[in-house]
Amino acid sequence: GSSCSPGQGQKRKQSCCLHKIHFILLFSRQGKLRLQKWYTTLPDKEKKKIIREIIQIILSRNQKTSSFVDWKDLKLVYKRYASLYFCCAIEDQDNELLTLEVVHRYVELLDRYFGNVCELDIIFNFEKAYFILDEFIIGGEVQETSKKTAVKAIEDSDMLQETVEEYMNKPAF
Amino acid sequence: MALKMVKGSIDRMFDKNLQDLVRGIRNHKEDEAKYISQCIDEIKQELKQDNIAVKANAVCKLTYLQMLGYDISWAAFNIIEVMSASKFTFKRIGYLAASQCFHEGTDVIMLTTNQIRKDLSSPNQYDTGVALTGLSCFVTPDLARDLANDIMTLMSHTKPYIRKKAVLIMYKVFLKYPESLRPAFPRLKEKLEDPDPGVQSAAVNVICELARRNPKNYLSLAPLFFKLMTSSTNNWVLIKIIKLFGALTPLEPRLGKKLIEPLTNLIHSTSAMSLLYECVNTVICGLFFQLCVQKLRILIEDSDQNLKYLGLLAMSKILKTHPKSVQSHKDLILQCLDDKDESIRLRALDLLYGMVSKKNLMEIVKKLMIHVDKAEGTTYRDELLTKIIDICSQSNYQYITNFEWYISILVELTRLEGTRHGHLIAAQMLDVAIRVKAIRKFAVSQMAMLLDNAHLIASNTQRNGICEVLYAAAWICGEFSEHLEEANQTLEAMLRPKVTTLPGHIQAVYVQNMVKLYASILQQKEQAGEKEAAQEITQLMIERLPQFVQSADLEVQERASCILQLIKYIQKLQAKEVPVAEEVIALFAGELNPVAPKAQKKVPVPEGLDLDAWINEPPSDSESEDEKPKTIFHEEEQRHSRHRQPEIDEEELARRREARKQEQANNPFYIKSSPSPQKRYQDTPGVEHIPVVQIDLSVPLKVPGMPMSDQYVKLEEERRHKQKLEKDKKKKKQKKEKRGKHHRHNSLHTESEEDIAPAHHVDIITEEMPENALPSDEDDKDPNDPYKALDIDLDKPLADSEKLPVQRHRNVETLKSPDSEVPLVEKKSKKPKKKEKKHKDKERDKGKKKEKEKKVVEEEEEEVKKVILQDLHYFSSCCYLLLSSFCCLGTASDSFLQVTVSVIFENKSTSFLKSMELNVLDSLNTKMLRPEGSSVHDGIPVPFQLPPGISNEAQFVFTLQSIVMAQKLKGTLSFIVKDDEGSTHEKLDFKLHFSCASYLITTPCYSDAFAKLLESGDLHMSSIKVDGISISFQHLLAKICFHHHFSVVERVDSCASMYSRSIQGHHVCLLVKKGENSVSIDGKCNDSTLLSNLLDEMKETLSKC
């Protein structure tokens, strides 16, 4: 991709080419952001600008077009599940199909955890969605390829939380 | 579902939880902003409360708002508070918030270091996990540096959950703190063979990512990855590995052949599209070319000229992008040089350029030289000549190992009649003679010979391009006349009447350089006191110079008449017996050095000079064009600057630089960047347009007395052979010496280019750079590319300085719960204390034996210092074995220390113990020396068995990087217990404690030396105070002497000075003062870390009193 806008291109290069997956965005058909995970450090202002831009690009695409978009010096890989769009930004040499599989795996994980996941689950338990994502991907790299292990790690840490809750509910608190 | 259970409990506790907030926002669609600002106010109130649960809830809500686009950076400190909550529920929320909104610019981030370290070492794996996950999002260079060692330790955590995360985070740490790569890499590499597939795949991920950016450093891992690729069934891992091989194949062409089969299999068998795509992609980008080249070979081998031609043509296209894959077909290309068809020969020549190496250069050039001799038709011959020169001179003479050979090749090339490329040869002669200092003597002798035989070269002067070489010859002989043996003869050759038939510019150089020659001869004669000879030479000049004065060429005429006058003047002085040589030689003093093309760019900007600042303020826009003030600057420039904004962005600068270059290129008065004098020739009129008349000579011209390049080829071959033999010998020796090192990856490139060292050490003069120029590599690198920093050689052994910084415990950390630190074994060890004491006595008996051992070691190793370190640590298991390590023989060499630890094994049980294996978990600093070929997981077998009640001792060697820090190594002893009922496998965990005190040698010191040491001011200072001391001062000093290896220098009342030395020669001085119930110790030492660790250890000893 060479359509990097001048000036900004320099900056992007500096901070962006650090990871395999640069960021993951979840947004609704109405263009509402539901989850954002950045594996690069960028100023908030720039993040907001990028989010706006990408949501617009993807929402304006026809349903039947491919899932890949060249964007600046990165590639966007996205997929729609029900009312939610899942979008990843990856580097030039990275494998698009693999990224689609990553997205799909994440949806599967959410599904397992919430049981038939829907957009509302993610809205109301957005921190859980983050925790699941963190168990699956770390620093832009897939850390756990086994569904079972990833979900188990979340549930185990939830159980840990459970005992703490019980502890807090004791009269002493 | 865990989630359901968790829900509800939090709801009841707060006015508004996250769900309420989300619901609220959805219900206030019209006035969302107002509602949210109201919520933020509430949150601010909640954050002020002391209850951590309330705070966590507030931070959770903030994190949601952050996603909606609200700035929450003001709450950074509260987030840290929640992160440091002891309860996982809150900690997790804190870390989530931090990972969403912290970045390198967040200033409070440095406050988190200790908290994160504490969480990393938490006994709860989820605490550790959450800290690692958070770190992956907001790690800064500082955090990376401070925590690198902690994270590296976690790579060997018992839980795969943690290992996996730690491995992945390490990649981020490398990016932020590249120094950590080398120390951490061995452990990372180990993880490739981790029993847990998740950890393994994480390690593959990280190494593949690293290798993709700097593949050459990871070539040695290729066999390992190949094994993984053929054995792994995990598609995620496979894709990574294939990607890695895609990066490695261009560097190691042989890999391609190996890969084709497994890749083809994968392509045929896999059902995963992503994997299929990756395979195909790799094949297209790399392997494909190898396949193509192999097929093209068939084309070229075909007898059909057309196919041959097209094959070569296609080859040359591949050569541009994948030179390595073409290189293996050198034999075939060389054959094509013999082809009858000139067009095919020319194609083959093109290809050769990209195929040479140090190894084959001479061979290829030799072949080309034969073709030069045989060649019919000047076009092809000229093409050969240029190719020879191109091939030899490419990449700064990278492939030339013997410059004598090259010079003689150049000289041989002067035999070429009728070539248009004389100036090329001349330029090469000049360049080599100027830049390769070591070759000057040889070059001068060859050039002198050329000058002597000028009549052969210049036989048909005006129409012969080859006479250009005389230009170079004359200049070299003049400039480096100090190397000339027969200067007189050369001078005479230059003064021959025939010279006047040479082209004008050559004559001009002749004239100028004969003065240089004359000057050096004059000096020589004067120094030898041969006045007459000096006068004779002057006379010769005066006689012969007039022929140049009459030249039709202005330059020659002017120089000659000027010089003639000068020499006449010298003659007058000589007649008066005035010594003149020194003054004449001063005319040519100083050396000419080549200037680097980048030199101008490298001139450092002097301090205080701002190149972007205005020299003259730009006139305001209101001013009309013609009112513009007159400046010394170019008008164009002035107009430019008027339009320019004060801030110029990169793009504009680049554009301007480009424009300037263009302008300079067109400006005849601008000195071009190339240092080669070649350019000057291009301007020489006529040379190229002169019709070439072919002279038919039946016998190839040989300049009499000239050395043939062949003889250098032979010499060089002999030299290489000898070198190789020597190297082999050395290698064998090394192998004998170093048992521990293995060179597995060497087998991969046996014919390494680097094996061939240049003949006499030739140092190619790097072109001159301005003073204070920046190091040259830098400008080739993109400073913004974070991967460049990771371009690190991983095969070099670790140096002392590369150790990862290990954080000392600060006061803050004493809050840490002590349970996590105390190892199980140490608890156990309290039980059999009595036995220990007994044992100590035994050790003393063994004192003599120790002495013996010491001698043995001394004989084996020639290293300098040998020290006995005592009483390392005791540990034991109540049931079967008593282990005690008692002594340590250390050898200090410059880079690392070797310590031998003797361990006594005492069988306390009634069973027979056998197959004992001792293993230790190496730390970065301290490593157990294992036999060749074994990994760090392998234990070392104890060379004996133990019947009941028997004790024996075994020695283990450790290498240390540094002694300033105490080390505790965890270890395991596995053994088989055999009794009547059968045998069982047992394990004994222990800890090996290398205290800092054990590295001190009791060394006596006199009080005056001690005083001098204290005054020197080279020592760092630190002190401690211990309360509640009841023992006598005498007793206390004895304790310090015994346990910490000090000696008393002086004692006055309840005050004493003490001294000791480390095995690395650190001085340690103590001043011990006893108060009422306390004792204070002031210490001074060369190394502050060592000192503070020593004092800490002392504190521990004393607090037990």
CA distance B212 to B989: 40
Q: Is A70 in a helix, a strand, or coil? A: strand
Judged by CB atoms closer than 8 Å, whether chains meet at A145 and B236 is answered as yes
Nearest neighbour of B165 by CB, restricted to A17, A138, A162: A138
Judged by CB atoms closer than 8 Å, whether chains meet at A130 and B60 is answered as no
Q: Is B494 in a helix, a strand, or coil? A: helix
Most confident range (mean pLDDT) of B241-255, B498-512, B877-891 is B498-512
Judged by CB atoms closer than 8 Å, whether chains meet at A143 and B137 is answered as no
CA neighbor of B234 nearest in space, from B201, B188, B190: B201
In terms of phi and psi (left: phi > 0; alpha: psi -120 to 50; beta: otherwise), the region of B891 is: beta
Q: What is the DSSP letter of B780?
A: G
Most confident range (mean pLDDT) of B171-180, B652-661, B701-710, B784-793 is B171-180
Token couple for B971: 């270890």
Q: CA-nearest residue of chain A to B22?
A: A124
Nearest neighbour of B93 by CB, restricted to A93, A127, A156: A127
pLDDT of B588 reads 85
CA distance B93 to B74: 17
Distance set, CA B651 to CA A110, B654, B656 (Å): 45, 5, 9
Inter-residue contact B614 to B631 (CB < 8 Å): no
To the nearest whole Å, the CA of A39 is away from the closest chain B CA by: 6
Most confident range (mean pLDDT) of B95-99, B483-487, B1030-1034 is B95-99
- Between the CA atoms of B544, B546, B548 and B552, what dihedral angle is there, to the nearest 10 degrees? -150
Q: What angle do CA B604, B606, B611 make, to 5 degrees?
A: 90
To the nearest whole Å, the CA of B173 is away from the closest chain A CA by: 11
Contacts of residue B1069, Cβ cutoff 8 Å, sequence gap at least 6: B1010, B1013, B1014, B1019, B1057, B1058, B1059, B1083, B1084, B1085
B530 or B712, greater pLDDT: B530
Inter-residue contact B1049 to B1002 (CB < 8 Å): no
Task: Give the right CATH number for A20-162 from 3.30.70.100, 3.40.190.10, 3.40.50.300, 3.30.450.60.
Answer: 3.30.450.60
To the nearest whole Å, the CA of B278 is away from the closest chain A CA by: 7
To the nearest whole Å, the CA of A146 is away from the closest chain B CA by: 8
Across chain B, mean pLDDT equals 75
In this prediction, residue B93 has a pLDDT band, given cuts at 50, 70 and 90, of very high
CA distance B968 to B872: 11
Judged by CB atoms closer than 8 Å, whether chains meet at B205 and A142 is answered as yes
Lowest average pLDDT, out of A13-22, B103-112, B978-987, goes to A13-22
Residue B399 has pLDDT above 70, yes or no: yes
Lowest average pLDDT, out of B62-71, B994-1003, B1033-1042, goes to B994-1003
Q: Where are chain A's structural domains? A: 20-162
Contacts of residue B548, Cβ cutoff 8 Å, sequence gap at least 6: B500, B507, B510, B511, B556, B557, B559, B560
Lowest average pLDDT, out of A80-84, B129-133, B713-717, goes to B713-717
Residue B835 has pLDDT above 50, yes or no: no
Inter-residue contact B278 to A98 (CB < 8 Å): yes
- As a whole number, mean pLDDT of residues B701-722 equals 62
Which is it for strands B982-994 and B1055-1062: parallel, antiparallel or unpaired? unpaired
Q: CA-nearest residue of chain A to B127?
A: A157
Judged by CB atoms closer than 8 Å, whether chains meet at B198 and A43 is answered as no
CB pairs under 8 A between A and B: 157
Judged by CB atoms closer than 8 Å, whether chains meet at B96 and A43 is answered as no
CB-side exposure of B1049: number of CA atoms within 13 Å? Answer: 21
Please list every residue in chain B whose beta carbon sits closer than 8 Å to the beta carbon of residue A38. Answer: 137
Most confident range (mean pLDDT) of A7-21, B423-437, B611-625 is B423-437
The residue length of chain B stands at 1105
Residue B138 has pLDDT above 70, yes or no: yes
Q: Is B889 in a helix, a strand, or coil? A: strand
To the nearest whole Å, the CA of A134 is away from the closest chain B CA by: 7
CA neighbor of B66 nearest in space, from B77, B75, B78: B75
CA distance B535 to B570: 9
List the single best residue of B12, B19, B21, B67 to mutate versus A (max A Cβ within 10 A): B67
CA neighbor of B753 nearest in space, from B326, B366, B251: B251
- Between the CA atoms of B833, B834, B835 and B836, what dihedral angle is there, to the nearest 10 degrees? 50
Q: Which residue has the tokens 């020169």?
A: B389
List the single best residue of A16, A25, A67, A98 to mutate versus B (max B Cβ within 10 A): A98
Judged by CB atoms closer than 8 Å, whether chains meet at B64 and A126 is answered as yes
Lowest average pLDDT, out of A32-41, A121-130, B722-731, goes to B722-731
SS3 content of chain B, % helix, strand, coil (to 5): 60, 10, 30
In this prediction, residue B94 has a pLDDT band, given cuts at 50, 70 and 90, of very high
Distance set, CA B121 to CA B116, B131, B154, B843 (Å): 9, 10, 8, 37
Judged by CB atoms closer than 8 Å, whether chains meet at A153 and B124 is answered as no
In this prediction, residue B286 has a pLDDT band, given cuts at 50, 70 and 90, of low
Q: What pTM was estimated for this model as a whole?
A: 0.45
Q: Is B359 in a helix, a strand, or coil? A: coil
What's at B537, amino acid-wise?
A: I
First to last CA, chain B: 56
In this prediction, residue B631 has a pLDDT band, given cuts at 50, 70 and 90, of very low
To the nearest whole Å, the CA of B160 is away from the closest chain A CA by: 11
Judged by CB atoms closer than 8 Å, whether chains meet at A160 and B88 is answered as yes
Nearest neighbour of B277 by CB, restricted to A13, A34, A95: A95
To the nearest whole Å, the CA of A62 is away from the closest chain B CA by: 24
Please list every residue in chain A whose beta carbon sits closer than 8 Å to the beta carbon of residue B133. Answer: 134, 138
Inter-residue contact B444 to B399 (CB < 8 Å): no
Question: Phi, psi at residue B508, to the nearest 5°?
Answer: -60, -40
CA distance A135 to B767: 55
CA distance B764 to B715: 21
CA distance B992 to B612: 62
Please list every residue in chain A whose beta carbon sits closer than 8 Å to the beta carbon of residue B89. Answer: 160-161, 164-165
CA distance B59 to B217: 45
In this prediction, residue A29 has a pLDDT band, given cuts at 50, 70 and 90, of very high
CA distance B419 to B378: 7
- Between the CA atoms of B517, B522, B524 and B527, what dihedral angle is there, to the nearest 10 degrees? -160
Name the burial class of residue A32, with classes exposed (0-12), middle (13-18) and buried (19+) by CB atoms within 10 angstroms of its CB.
middle
Q: What angle do CA B922, B923, B926 make, to 5 degrees?
A: 85
Residue A24 has pLDDT above 90, yes or no: yes
pLDDT of B621 reads 58
Please list every residue in chain A whose beta carbon sits closer than 8 Å to the beta carbon of residue B196. Answer: none
To the nearest whole Å, the CA of A88 is away from the closest chain B CA by: 16
- Between the CA atoms of B396, B399, B403 and B406, what dihedral angle is there, to the nearest 10 degrees? -100
Q: What is the DSSP letter of B286?
A: I
Nearest neighbour of A127 by CB, restricted to B63, B103, B209: B63
Judged by CB atoms closer than 8 Å, whether chains meet at B649 and A6 is answered as yes
CA distance B594 to B395: 16
Inter-residue contact B520 to B527 (CB < 8 Å): no
To the nearest whole Å, the CA of A41 is away from the closest chain B CA by: 6
Name the burial class of residue B765, with classes exposed (0-12), middle (13-18) and buried (19+) by CB atoms within 10 angstroms of its CB.
exposed
pLDDT tens figures, B439-470:
888 999 999 988 888 777 766 544 567 888 88
Strand order across the beta sheet in which A21-28 lies = A33-38, A21-28, A84-90, A74-81, A68-71
Q: CA-nearest residue of chain A to B196?
A: A144
CA distance B301 to B858: 65
Judged by CB atoms closer than 8 Å, whether chains meet at A95 and B649 is answered as no
Q: CA-nearest residue of chain A to B136?
A: A139
SS3 content of chain A, % helix, strand, coil (to 5): 50, 20, 30
pLDDT tens figures, B310-347:
888 888 888 877 776 777 788 888 888 888 777 788 88
Judged by CB atoms closer than 8 Å, whether chains meet at B1 and A42 is answered as no
Q: CA-nearest residue of chain A to B282?
A: A93
pLDDT of B683 reads 40
pLDDT of A76 reads 92
Judged by CB atoms closer than 8 Å, whether chains meet at A138 and B168 is answered as yes
Lowest average pLDDT, out of B71-85, B329-343, B481-495, B852-866, goes to B852-866
Q: CA-nearest residue of chain B to A52?
A: B69
Distance set, CA B1027 to CA B1024, B1030, B1094 (Å): 10, 9, 18
Q: CA-nearest residue of chain B to A123?
A: B22
- As a whole number, mean pLDDT of residues B48-66 equals 89
CB-side exposure of B265: number of CA atoms within 13 Å? Answer: 10
List the single best residue of A95, A99, A106 to mutate versus B (max B Cβ within 10 A): A95
First to last CA, chain A: 58
To the nearest whole Å, the CA of B89 is away from the closest chain A CA by: 5
Please list every residue in chain A whose beta carbon sits closer than 8 Å to the beta carbon of residue B101. Answer: 44
Judged by CB atoms closer than 8 Å, whether chains meet at B198 and A149 is answered as yes
Residue B167 has pLDDT above 90, yes or no: yes
CA neighbor of B648 nearest in space, from B616, B610, B602: B610
pLDDT tens figures, A73-82:
898 999 999 8
pLDDT of A166 reads 54
Q: CA-nearest residue of chain B to A131?
A: B96
In this prediction, residue B613 has a pLDDT band, given cuts at 50, 70 and 90, of confident
Buried b (16+ CB within 10 A) or exposed e, B203-219: bbbbbbbbbbbbbebbb
To the nearest 10 degrees (0 to 180), the angle between helices B403-413 and B422-435 is: 160
- As a whole number, mean pLDDT of residues B638-648 equals 46
Q: Is B1021 in a helix, a strand, or coil? A: strand
Lowest average pLDDT, out of B95-104, B732-741, B1047-1056, goes to B732-741
Judged by CB atoms closer than 8 Å, whether chains meet at A124 and B19 is answered as yes
Judged by CB atoms closer than 8 Å, whether chains meet at A39 and B137 is answered as yes
CA neighbor of A21 nearest in space, from A36, A8, A7, A9: A36
To the nearest whole Å, the CA of A95 is away from the closest chain B CA by: 7
Inter-residue contact B435 to B391 (CB < 8 Å): no
pLDDT of B170 reads 92
pLDDT of B764 reads 57
User: Helices (DSSP H) in B816-874: which residue ranges?
Assistant: 824-828, 833-845, 847-860
Please list every residue in chain B whose beta carbon sits closer than 8 Å to the beta carbon of residue A41. Answer: 103-104, 138
Please list every residue in chain A whose beta carbon sits closer than 8 Å to the beta carbon of residue B285. Answer: none
- As a whole number, mean pLDDT of residues B44-69 equals 89
Judged by CB atoms closer than 8 Å, whether chains meet at B274 and A98 is answered as yes
To the nearest whole Å, the CA of A61 is away from the closest chain B CA by: 23
The alpha carbon dihedral of B279, B282, B286, B288 has a sign of: positive
Q: CA-nearest residue of chain B to A22?
A: B137
Question: Phi, psi at residue B559, to the nearest 5°?
Answer: -60, -45
